[in-house]
Amino acid sequence: MSRFTLKPNAIILAPLAGVSDHPFRRLCAEQGADLTYVEMLSARALIYNSQRTLQMAKRHSSEEVLGVQVTGGSSDDTAKAVAILDKMNFDTIDINMGCPVQKVVKSGSGSAILKDPSRVYETVKRCREETDKALSAKIRIGWDHQTVNALEVVEAIEKGGADWLTVHGRTRSDDYSVPVDLTMMTQIKHAVSIPVIGNGNIFQSQDTQSMLDKTNVDGVMVSRGALGNPWVFRELKNVSTRVSADEWASVVNRHIDWQAEEYGPTGRGAVCMRKHLLWYLKGWHGAKKWKDIFGKIEDLSDAKALVLTCSEDFKANNYNERSPVEAQASFNWDPKWQMDRQQDRGVGHELLQ
């Protein structure tokens, strides 16, 4: 079988910790994502055959193309993990060198790797030796603004044998309020001959077009822009920006069905669905009163009926379509920030401690 290659101007769903399970990935692919990823896995957890991690790596039979991302505290661990992933049902493998959360970097994983370009090269080279599958790396532009070394890092990635790389245009020390550095992204694109995917603040088609025009990158990766908004992928492909209340309810309830099938309607299935339900409310006027209700869901069977009632409530108040992204600033809450930085959320496995 030939090695997977990226489509021109690919639109990719990022491997989002605590989010990118197959019910969510399937919705994003349905709406036009060219590639989706399993959430970031711990190399050590794979080496130790963690059943929780193997469950996270589960691929649904309907997924036509799927990538997986791994991070490790050493080039040796990462290469061993890639050797394991090579035997699994994935089309492409990504090495995470950009995750900023403390419990990841303190193990020498994620963006901690950026501190040592020689380790970047050794990691990619060792991983390349362990797989014939498409191999990539995801980075930030540096650890902080005093140590921006992205050009050296991406040259090491290319030399190590990666097929492409993804650049989040911020440093590890930056929060989401810091603008994405499109100038550095442009320099990175000029520095290597392999494809470069841009990442950071992709929420609507204007964001994608601006990044493509200013940097000449080969595609974009969507992270927070997909939370509660799998429709973003069709918008980025200029298919449609409209989401009616009826379509909203249909898609959300399909997500609930797939969630219940995978995890059960109560317990973990319901608890993990709550954050998605809160994200799905973003962009709807009149959603405030539903936040507490959706945040306390105990049974996904009840959730489906509540979603239908919620959509009818929107329509009864003449909110027939979700507000466009540019008008959503007034909603102003970001559960992903709380999950990641405030709760120190990363790979989420004790073997990273």
Q: Which of 27, 34, 43, 29 is nearest to 11 (CA)?
A: 34
The CA distance from 352 to 47, in Å, is: 12
Q: Are 72 and 53 in contact (CB under 8 A)?
A: no
Q: Measure Cα distances from 348 to 140, 183, 225, 239 in Å.
A: 20, 33, 22, 36
Report the Cα 98 to chain-centroid distance in Å: 12
Phi-psi region of 31 (alpha: psi -120 to 50; beta: other; left: phi over 0): alpha
Structure tokens at 118: 């020689």
Q: 193 CB contacts (<8 Å, ≥6 apart)?
A: 158
The CA distance from 302 to 318, in Å, is: 25
Is 127 designated active site? no
- Catalytic residue, chosen from 28, 99, 127, 310, is 99
Sign of CA dihedral 113, 161, 54, 276: positive
* Residues paired with 69 in a beta bridge: 94
The DSSP code for 204 is S
Catalytic residues: 99
